[in-house]
Amino acid sequence: MTLDILTAPTLEGVTHGFFGRRGGASSGIFEGLNCGGGSSDQAAIVALNRDRAADAMGVPPERLLTVHQVHSARAVILDDVPAEKPKADAIVTATPGLAIAVLTADCQPVLFADREAGVVGAAHAGWRGAVDGVLEATVEAMIEAGARREAIRAVIGPTISQANYEVGQEFFERFHDEDPATARFFVNGADGKYLFDLPGYGLMRLRGAGIAAAEWTRHCTYADPERFYSYRRATHRGEADYGRLLSAIRL
């Protein structure tokens, strides 16, 4: 089956893709293109899925780079294949032919590019990473690698939408206590809960970083089980595990 790869006009001219779950070799609850080595899926099958993604990106499998994601605000600059995966949640490179990627299953995958300077970035931004500044850290790492802030463009890929992201009072208060203006990213839900606009918050942080452009593809991971994996949907269904979506970019 052909892979399902979303691209964005904002990143036109740079090879990139937000991969959906279609076209992979995994089966069962992981059916599709599960690229998460941290899942309980068969390691050989995950490797095969990653090989297919690397092929679609036009690089050898060993040059499709991911990191050991820890919900941090750390961004690393890579100019070659590292000896081991660094603990970080964003990657930046100015090396042609090196594809950098992040894994998500509701969190925001964010791809960045300054095409003129030849610098790209990829960030995994859940609510914690976004609050702590992973998006801004990615921009700063890109500038360190030679990008110009005013030329950087960013796209948030498939992530959980506000309609499906129910949170509690403590979650709301954490945001509100840090910045009361963030109340606009919450609406009232059922039973005293709130619904949180994660991509809206991400866009606010990106635009606040002073970059050229930022957009969301407007795809919800939770709402489309045929196309995307979702941690929260798997939890609500009582499933033992869940697949991870890969989002990648290269020069």
* Domain annotation covers residue 227: yes
Among 134, 120, 103, which Cα is nearest to 111's?
120
Can you give the CATH number for the domain in which 37 is found?
Answer: 3.60.140.10
Instruction: Report the chain's C-alpha Rg in angstroms.
Output: 17
Q: What is the pLDDT of residue 1?
A: 66
* Domain annotation covers residue 221: yes
Q: What is the pLDDT of residue 154?
A: 98
* Domain annotation covers residue 242: yes
* Domain annotation covers residue 71: yes
**How far are the Cα atoms of 15, 215, 249 from residue 11, in angstroms, in the given order?**
8, 10, 10
What is residue 133's three-state secondary structure? coil
pLDDT by residue for the chain (251 residues), tens only, comes to 699 999 999 999 999 999 999 999 999 999 999 999 999 999 999 999 999 999 999 999 999 999 999 999 999 999 999 999 999 999 999 999 999 999 999 999 999 999 999 999 999 999 999 999 999 999 999 999 999 999 999 999 999 999 999 999 999 999 999 899 999 999 999 999 999 999 999 999 999 999 999 999 999 999 999 999 999 999 999 999 999 999 999 99
Q: What is the pLDDT of residue 179?
A: 93
* Domain annotation covers residue 179: no
- Cβ pair 134, 89 in contact under 8 A: yes
Q: What is the DSSP string of 139-164?
A: HHHHHHTT--GGG-EEEE-SB--GGG
SS3 breakdown of the chain: % helix, strand, coil, rounded to 5?
30, 25, 45
- List the domain range (segments joined by +) for residue 226: 5-161+197-250
Residues written for the chain: 251
Number of domains, the chain: 1
The C-alpha torsion from 184 through 189 and 194 to 195, rounded to 10°, is -70
* pTM for the structure as a whole: 0.97
* Domain annotation covers residue 174: no
* Domain annotation covers residue 191: no
Q: What is the pLDDT of residue 10?
A: 97
